[in-house]
Structure 1
Amino acid sequence: MQPNASLFGQALVFAILVLFTWKFIWPPLIAALEERAKRIADGLSAADKAKNDLELVEKRIAEELRKAKTQAAEIIAQAEKRAAQIVDEAKDEGRAAGEREKAAAQAEIEQQAHHAREELRQQVSLLAIAGAEKILRKEIDSSRHADLLASLKSEL
């Protein structure tokens, strides 16, 4: 074989290989590469969308947390206000009960003082009567002295 014919034969086989590769191997390979590029682009797009969605969700979560904190602060403030009201009501009830007990004790003290005064009057009048009896034994007009002692008893 001559080098020219051999070279021509190799060129012809190479040309057939290039045509075969260009016709049957290259299109599926390009399609696979384009498909992969499209999937990568879709994945990047989905990642960007997910990132945006994540930012939106984080904003919503921050807003909900802020609302929850505000609501919790309001509830705490209401609870503290109600606790203060309960304490004030208890103080008022305690004061009222103390005043009732004080009034009852004062009434009892007045009643005992009145009773003691009455008892003292009784004893003073008995002493006065005993003194008057001694005086009357010496004097004869007992009815006149009894009237005098009765008026004295009523004055005491």
Structure 2
Amino acid sequence: MSITGTLIVQMIVFLLLVGFTMKFVWPPIAAALDERAVKIKEGLAAADKARADLAAADKRVEEELGKARAQTAQLLSDAERRSQAIVEEAKTRATEEGAKIVAAARAEAEQQTVKAREALREQVAALAVKGAEQILRKEVNAGVHAELLNRLKTEL
């Protein structure tokens, strides 16, 4: 056989191999490549959607954090105002209680003063009677001179 015959036989075998490959091997490979391309596109679309969802979730989280911070600030402000009101109320009560205690002490002191004055008047009257007795050198009868002694007490 000559080189031309070998070349022709090799070309026929090559063409048969190409034909067989185009008919039986290439379609499954092309289908697999197309399927893989579709899966890659779907994966990229899913990744884009996931990024968008993540961005939306981040935005919602930031909004919720902002709301929570605002609520916390409001609660702290309310608690501070309430504590100030409680302190003011306690001060007012303490002032009122102090005023009551001072008034009671003054009333008691006034009563003690009145009692002391009465006791002093009694003692002065007794001393005056004793002094008058000694001046007059005779005994004064308290029952007989009660009106005089009462007038002396009121004058003192």
TM-score (norm 1): 0.90
Does 2:87 align with 1:87? Answer: yes
Q: Deviation at 1:134? A: 2.1
Does 2:95 align with 1:134? Answer: no
Verify the 8 A CA contact 1:136 1:142 in the aligned structure 2.
no
- Root-mean-square deviation over aligned CA pairs: 2.2
Aligned residue number for residue 14 of structure 1: 14
1:101, 1:8 → 2: CA distance?
132
Pairing 1:1-156 to 2, within 5 Å after superposition = 1-137=1-137, 146=145, 148-156=148-156
Alpha carbons of 1:150 and 1:10: their partners in 2 closer, same or farther (altered >3 Å)? closer
1:116, 1:148 → 2: CA distance?
22
Verify the 8 A CA contact 1:128 1:149 in the aligned structure 2.
no
Return 5+ residue gaps in structure 2 as ranges: none
Aligned letter for 1:124? V
Alpha carbons of 1:59 and 1:42: their partners in 2 closer, same or farther (altered >3 Å)? same
Aligned letter for 2:32? A
Aligned letter for 1:40? I
2:141, 2:83 → 1: CA distance?
77
1:44, 1:142 → 2: CA distance?
129
1:21, 1:142 → 2: CA distance?
160
1:47, 1:149 → 2: CA distance?
117
2:126, 2:91 → 1: CA distance?
51
Q: Deviation at 1:142? A: 8.0
Aligned letter for 1:29? I
Aligned letter for 2:73? A
2:149, 2:12 → 1: CA distance?
169
2:20, 2:111 → 1: CA distance?
132
Q: Deviation at 1:133? A: 1.2
Deviations 1:56-88 (A, max 9, x none): 000000000000000000000111111111111
Percent pairwise identity: 51
2:137 match: secondary structure: helix
Q: Deviation at 1:148? A: 4.7
TM-score (norm 2): 0.90
